[in-house]
Structure 1
């Protein structure tokens, strides 16, 4: 059953009422040691839960060549001495991400994709620790200090980034949280180190670096740091676009095409800029804004600096993109927001605490915390991804059959059966790939070729002409390749006398290139 997204949001907000009442009734102050223990325990539970879910997804072939296979092959090639930042596609990695090499020593110790499965949830969950200590310094209240890291961990976008393939962007929340903690400790050199090195994770993070610069400019006594952050964002952008890709890598940076910034004429440039701004009034924009603010109980709205200077640049750059997956914060495109929003939430909580103190309403702290926790739990239960969900977005309508998060699995026989079916299909696919000899050239769908990367030369659909094998799995196809492209390739292979068609299981299709002698016999 599909429910209107705004109705689902209303249900999540309504969950605040009983929790606020419970928080009001308790009123008992929470010891700092208890609050710290809750945050540490929650971080450990989330790290282990998503690590386990990642292992299940890998066994069920729910990771793809793009992007899990790209990172795995890149680190495998580097560990084998084949060069740095090169992946299975044969060329240089198409992003600026030197930080990905932090995993290289692990691959040299044990060359396995399981490092990626563990690394992503663990480093993401670890960000809750500096967030707690940053909140404690600014808020002087263990209850409020505990809120931001919990809201961060339960954020549905946290689940999406933790579960969707692998992206080195998973480092961003921890990196940013360490910088934010340094700012609360008045250690500006350390703050600048963490901020100015953000683009080493990925070139996109020149945006939150610039946003941090705007934030610093608004703070008395911190304007020099603001100028340095803005200058750093500009210099990193020039280096990446004008030196790294064209001169060092000698490759086009095609992701730049997602923004129509320049045209041959001034009028064309102005028209492109107008088209970018026009995307801010599209129907999905309010839903995206709600999806970002709801898991944090709208607390960032209380701090204009946190909202306008930190949050809006990192959100706006996605909304004005010509790429619909960025506009909808699909898969990993919310990574900067996942890291920035907890800091903005702490700033909002500080403004709320000051307001309650001035109005002598500090007795309402428990009610506010309870309301935030209620919204947090409801939004997580409703909107966090299930392990078997791929390429799914709920902003157009909330599908009750695909909602429920990890918490739903023990209580839903249907979801357990669905996952069991995917595991059985993956076991059948493993038998088929075992029949493919080492060194063969294989063209495969996004989800089917991952297990062959270390044995064969693998290409994503459509791949080169006359590959040794073409491998498809209709039971585990999630729409990465266009149906037209896929069907066209299938029909061509069915008509090609050079290939023998083999079918396995429910929907595993293998096309095997024939040797000349076999072709003659046919």
Structure 2
């Protein structure tokens, strides 16, 4: 299973299809931990500590491995192994309850589920650390091991601030289904206090402008709250896509209630990205849904037609799963690497989003077109929206795309910044494969 997820991520990086947002960001953070420094992410700003964006100190567990192999591939390998590791407890439960053959089929269906391979196909994210913990916690709940479930779920508070919602789900399940009042209430309190502490105190304390940047998308706003939760219909499509691969069997188990809080938070957000089936946001729900489906099958033993349910689930997963593209990098990619090699190790470089993860292991990389001139004190920088430039790094080198990708800055802003580079003292020193490398050479 790990090989499948690796096949989705590593060749993509080698073909230069990964991005600074987010593989480059996480590599910079992990590199900081690996060398016993702050997890500074210069792609977000000069001196910007990753904990001021998302509260993910658990990333430090990857630091020893990155110290041994300082490359973005280390994060992609770790992610594939973590996702594959989550298959073990899910398959173990399935074998125990459904028998060896049906249990293995159910485990394979989970390992190939679309939420997991969507995460593998989109760079690296901290939620890879969550998935095996959630799998173990949900399996423990299914077996009635309440204390073990809470112990598996508690570290979620150190992975990302929104993972407290999953911990709260575990606490609520222990309280209502397990009837362990003290443990359930304590877990709910830990989830609430931990989440509020990170969002209201810890993240703003580490953020250069003292705020939690993602709070605005969850602001109450006006309008009908039911419409905000239930519309547009994209939200219903995502809900159907989550439960349909298990033949809706997950809905037969109370374990499916663990998905309510995370989905409600995503659907309440004003950012449409959170409603979709893309990206990595659904990976944390996959172990819950498949364990709930296994539990649902166990609760319906008298229906002979369900004997083939695990095989059908695996068939659906196989039909939906992408075929890994194992093609070698094109000649343009090889040329691009030669062009990027012009930037010396240890340089400060402002790079386009698609070029950033090719440089983060050996340079201090900021995002182009947000760039401060080397001779400046911070008063001048390419920012059409006029935002405060004080947190933007100085860059003596720039790596730009002749045809910008349009994210996270617009193509128009990117091209405007490129046209201004010669005036600022930058000169092109290497070109090829649609990439231009600039070096600051004032007075030349």
Alignment of 1:91 onto 2:48: yes
- TM-aligned CA distance change 1:49 to 1:164, over 3 Å: same
Residue of structure 2 equivalent to 1:56: 11
Shift of 1:286: 2.4
SS at match of 1:255: coil
Equivalents in 2 of 1:493, 1:198: separation in Å? 44
Alignment of 1:117 onto 2:76: yes
Equivalents in 2 of 1:456, 1:371: separation in Å? 48
Shift of 1:277: 4.3
Residue of structure 1 equivalent to 2:305: 364
Residue of structure 2 equivalent to 1:235: 193
Task: After TM superposition, list the pairs within 5 Å mapping 1:479-498 onto structure 2.
Answer: 479-493=407-421, 496=423, 498=425
Alignment of 1:107 onto 2:66: yes
1:142 to 82, 92, 100: 100
Residue of structure 2 equivalent to 1:508: 435
Equivalents in 1 of 2:184, 2:396: separation in Å? 56
Task: After TM superposition, list the pairs within 5 Å mapping 1:166-185 onto structure 2.
Answer: 166-185=124-143
- TM-aligned CA distance change 1:470 to 1:430, over 3 Å: same
Equivalents in 2 of 1:281, 1:92: separation in Å? 36
- TM-aligned CA distance change 1:118 to 1:439, over 3 Å: closer
Q: Identify the structure with the greater helix proportion.
A: 1
Equivalents in 1 of 2:211, 2:108: separation in Å? 41
List, as ranges, runs of 4+ consecutive aligned residues in structure 1 with deviation greater than 4 Å. 247-250
1:284 to 229, 234, 255: 234
- TM-aligned CA distance change 1:51 to 1:371, over 3 Å: closer
Equivalents in 2 of 1:435, 1:239: separation in Å? 45
Equivalents in 1 of 2:247, 2:434: separation in Å? 44
1:195 to 153, 171, 181: 153
Which structure has the larger Rg? Answer: 1
Segments of 5+ residues of structure 1 without an aligned counterpart are 1-45, 262-268, 381-404, 410-415
Equivalents in 1 of 2:187, 2:341: separation in Å? 52
Q: CA contact under 8 A between 2:340 and 2:437: conserved in structure 1?
A: no
- TM-aligned CA distance change 1:56 to 1:483, over 3 Å: same
- Name the count of aligned residue pairs: 417
Shift of 1:247: 4.3
- TM-aligned CA distance change 1:175 to 1:478, over 3 Å: farther
Shift of 1:143: 4.4
Residue of structure 1 equivalent to 2:295: 347
- TM-aligned CA distance change 1:450 to 1:247, over 3 Å: closer
- TM-aligned CA distance change 1:497 to 1:245, over 3 Å: closer
Shift of 1:47: 0.3
Q: CA contact under 8 A between 1:294 and 1:379: conserved in structure 2?
A: no
- Taking structure 1 as the reference length, the TM-score comes to 0.73
Q: CA contact under 8 A between 2:89 and 2:135: conserved in structure 1?
A: yes
2:251 to 273, 289, 301: 301
CA-atom RMSD in angstroms: 2.7
Q: CA contact under 8 A between 1:199 and 1:205: conserved in structure 2?
A: yes
Over residues 73-97 of structure 1, what are the superposed CA-to-partner deviations in whole Å (9 max), with x where a residue is unaligned?
22222222323x3323422111111
Residue of structure 2 equivalent to 1:379: 320
Q: CA contact under 8 A between 1:300 and 1:344: conserved in structure 2?
A: yes
Residue of structure 2 equivalent to 1:221: 179
Worse-superposed segment, 173-182 or 141-150: 141-150
1:69 to 2, 8, 24: 24
